[in-house]
Amino acid sequence: MESIGRCITLLVLLGVLFTGHCEAQSPGSATGDARSLDTLLQDYAYRSLVHPRTGFVYDGTVPSNLTGIRIAAIRLRSGSLRKRGVDSYKEFGIPSDIVVQPYVKRLVLVYQNLGNWSSFYYPLPGYTYLTPVLGLLAYDATNLSATNLPKLDFAATNLPVSINFSNVVVPVPSGAIARCVWFGLNGSPDFRDSESGSMCTVFRQGHFSIVVNSSEIVLPPAPSEGPGLSLNPVVSRSNKSKLWKIIVSVIGGIALVLLALLTFVMLKYTRNKKVAKMEQHADAGVSLDTASVGNARVPVASGLRTQPILENELVA
């Protein structure tokens, strides 16, 4: 019995260690550095611009340690961007009257689709992403080999930039209110209601997505695996479900071990009892007599051990 107690203590300790390990990875600590990601993606997006034609969209390639992220680049004259905008650049519709500062003759708009890395680089505890985080950032196009470029200031002065998430959005769960979230260059989120659940409008550059308050959804939305799109709920939710899985498996493990121990103890107990009984019989010298039946010797009972008592004897 002492060893069972020790076993249980060990298992409980293991369980505590597991949960502690999980909590150590709670939201915040897993946050990547979104600004250095911008720098890296600017470099990789520019690599796709080899003798680029103005106004053409070039898809870039990300390093293999960032598989799941998609990037693109388009080079524009700032004069034509101000006059005409860009009808459709991936999910973005860019109107006329965009002002870029400081003045550059040509600029590059870098597009980012963070895919399954969205909640890694832009964790939003309490919210669930319905779309990947998309980025639109403006850089000087003077030197296409340049790295560590500063962002240009980019502002819509008349109509807003529209973002059409139709092709990448998970349907809004019933009862939930879809909100557009905008991460400015300082990284802090800014929320607006999204009228249609798939469109957002913005006046500045940065990173954008559609989210719902996690407490408004009964069941987590089924992650739609569209081409290149894989959504993760925010880190806190996945950690919570992981935590539950671990708790359930620890409890299940303890139950299994206890069941095994119980079976073992019971088997041992019944065997001991049997042995004891047999020994008792041997001690009492009770053995079965044998008799010859033909050529074989078979055991026979040596008569009745308890003599029947006649009822009338008791009565008498």
Ligand X SMILES: *[C@@H]1O[C@H](CO)[C@@H](O)[C@H](O)[C@H]1NC(C)=O
- Contacts with ligand X by CB under 6 A lie at 40, 63, 65-68, 116-117, 120, 126-127, 143, 145-147, 164, 166-167, 199, 213, 215
Closest approach, Cβ 85 to ligand X, in A, equals: 14
Cβ proximity to ligand X, 213 vs 290, nearer residue: 213
Closest approach, Cβ 5 to ligand X, in A, equals: 42
Cβ proximity to ligand X, 111 vs 127, nearer residue: 127
Closest approach, Cβ 8 to ligand X, in A, equals: 36
Closest approach, Cβ 227 to ligand X, in A, equals: 12
Cβ proximity to ligand X, 147 vs 280, nearer residue: 147
Cβ proximity to ligand X, 117 vs 154, nearer residue: 117
Closest approach, Cβ 230 to ligand X, in A, equals: 6
Nearest to 201, CA basis, from 224, 225, 174, 180: 180
Please provide the DSSP assignment of the chain as one string: -HHHHHHHHHHHHHHHHHHHHHHTT-TTTT---HHHHHHHHHHHHHHT-SSPPTT-EEE----GGGTT-EEEEEEEEHHHHHHH-EEEETTEEE-S-EEEES--SEEEEEEEE-GGGHHHHS--TTEEESS--EEEEEEE-S-TT--SPPPPEEEESSSPEEEE-TTTPPPPPTT---EEEEE-TT--EEEEE-SSSSEEEESB-EEEEEEEEGGG-SSPPPPP--TT------HHHHHHHHHHHHHHHHHHHHHHHHHHHHHHHHHHHHHHHHHHHHHHHHHTT---EEEEETTEEEEE--S-SS----HHHHH-
Cβ proximity to ligand X, 215 vs 272, nearer residue: 215
Nearest position to ligand X, beta carbon? 126
Closest approach, Cβ 215 to ligand X, in A, equals: 4
Closest approach, Cβ 243 to ligand X, in A, equals: 18
Cβ proximity to ligand X, 180 vs 250, nearer residue: 180
Cβ proximity to ligand X, 118 vs 205, nearer residue: 118
Alpha-carbon gap, residue 231 to 83, rounded angstroms: 36
